[in-house]
Amino acid sequence: MSACHGLEKIALYHDGRLSLSEQRDVEAHLLICSECANELEDLELISKEFKSARLPGASPGLVDRLHSRAADLDQILLTRFVARLSAIAAAALVAIGICLSFFGRNPVSSRAALASWEQSAIAPDLNGSSSSTQGQFVEFVAQDLSGGRP
Please, which residue, 36 or 138, has the CB nearer to Zn ion? 36
Q: Using CB under 5 A as the criterion, which residues of the chain lie in contact with Zn ion when the complex forms?
A: 4, 6, 33, 36
DSSP three-state, residue 62: helix
CB of 22 to Zn ion, least distance (A): 14
Please, which residue, 33 or 138, has the CB nearer to Zn ion? 33
Please, which residue, 4 or 99, has the CB nearer to Zn ion? 4
CB of 25 to Zn ion, least distance (A): 11
Q: How many CA atoms lie less than 13 Å away from 8 in the CB half-sphere?
A: 4
Please, which residue, 31 or 53, has the CB nearer to Zn ion? 31
Burial call 52-89: b when 16+ CB within 10 Å, e when fewer: eeeeeeeeeeeeeeeeeeeeeeeeeeeeeeeeeeeeee
CB of 63 to Zn ion, least distance (A): 48
Please, which residue, 35 or 137, has the CB nearer to Zn ion? 35
Q: What is the Cα–Cα distance from 86 to 93, expressed in whole angstroms?
A: 10
DSSP three-state, residue 138: helix
Q: What is the Cα–Cα distance from 44 to 50, expressed in whole angstroms?
A: 10
CB of 28 to Zn ion, least distance (A): 11
CB of 73 to Zn ion, least distance (A): 49
